[in-house]
Amino acid sequence: MEEIDSMKEEEIMVQGQAEVYKYMFAFVDTMAIKCAVELRIADIIHSHGHKMMTLSQIATKIDSSSSPHTNYLERIMTFLVRRKIFTAATSPGGETLYGLTPISRWLLHDTELSVAPIFLLQSNPILMAPWHYFSSCVREGGIAFKKAHGCDIFEMASKDEEFNKNFNNGMSSTTRNIMKAIIKSYKDGFNSITSLVDVGGGTGVAMSEIVKAYPHIKGVNFDLPHVVSTAQKYEGVYHVGGDMFETIPPAHAVFLKCVMHHWGDEDCVKILKNCRKAIPEETGKVIIVDAVLKLGGESLFDDMGFISDLAMIAYSNGGKIRSEDEWNKLLKEAGFPRYNIIDIPAWSLIIEAYPQ
């Protein structure tokens, strides 16, 4: 009996070792997928009429100043097939054929719901560097992004044109996916609104989607001047540059999509108080789209809340993902005694907050 118990204990320990190695090399998944996105492999297969392609066929379509290294490509594709990013089958002639899966279809660049831009943003070396400072933040406090780069993420975007473009493209791709879920699930939420200001609205993608679905709304896209300066024109959308910590343009309602988790409680209260000043006391509301942390949550996107919470340590100045109790406390402190949470098929939820 002791020998059996010893064997089980040994098996458990070996399993633990295997798990440690899996987490140790978890970054390999990210880097291999990033490689495929940068080489536009999903796009190459997709443009082949959805038909499967051989490695040599894929290689000839890769944009390169010289002949692609097919040995490297084959090894990377073999790994990505194992991860179910692509499929593989054997042709009658014995060659391996590669095809798309439901995962790689999200990595297409030129589709409306592509996540390729946000994948490239999250794997950008600028955003990867702060993760190496977690232990330093635990020991000494401070902000991981500043430890890595000497400035915060918004300062970086304002002075680095390429990163700003990468950042805006990534945010826009995320916005399109979330907005699809919002428009579908929040059908009656915009009906009674005559004017809406999107605070921290980036380049205006979210507001353009709202106005397209609800053309009676006068839409204002509000963000920092260097952000709105790169925004394209959308029918029914007015771009306004400014600082949400100072004042917010008046409107019937305020829209805050994925903004609040970037800031600490004190800053969030400031933002929400400015939102309260911007809307009518009796009929106004604030529509917050953000994650709600559920400690025991096991639904499709609940794990993203915990991942995003750590991302806030990496990127933000004190931001975090909040539980419902934390949201309740925050809203009351800012003058919103009443709120309503609405589920949508995305990693975020809708929180309607009312001043009365």
The tens place of each residue's pLDDT in the chain, 356 residues long, gives 566 677 688 899 999 999 999 999 999 999 999 999 999 999 999 999 878 999 999 999 998 877 889 999 999 999 999 999 999 999 988 999 999 999 999 999 988 889 999 999 999 999 999 999 999 999 999 999 999 999 999 899 988 999 999 998 898 888 888 888 898 888 788 988 999 999 999 889 899 999 999 999 999 999 999 888 888 899 999 999 999 999 999 999 999 999 999 899 999 999 999 999 999 998 999 999 999 988 876 777 888 889 999 999 999 988 999 999 999 999 999 999 999 999 888 888 999 999 98
pLDDT at 68: 86
Q: Which residues are catalytic?
A: 261
Q: Rounded CA gap, 342 and 324, in Å?
A: 12
Closest CA to 211 of 223, 232, 225, 197: 197
Indicate the pTM of the whole model: 0.84
The number of CA neighbours under 13 Å toward the Cβ of 85 is 19
Q: Rounded CA gap, 215 and 164, in Å?
A: 30
Q: Rounded CA gap, 13 and 113, in Å?
A: 43
pLDDT at 344: 86
pLDDT at 135: 97
> Sign of the CA dihedral 141, 331, 244, 168?
positive
pLDDT at 335: 96
pLDDT at 8: 85
pLDDT at 300: 74
Closest CA to 257 of 174, 186, 324: 174
Distance of CA 196 to the CA centre of its chain: 23
Contacts of 209 (CB under 8 A, 6+ apart): 175, 176, 179, 180, 183
pLDDT at 86: 98
Give pairs for 62-70: CB < 8 Å, separation 24+.
63/39
b/e map 227-251, b = 16+ CB within 10 Å: bbeebeebeebbbeeeebeeebbeb
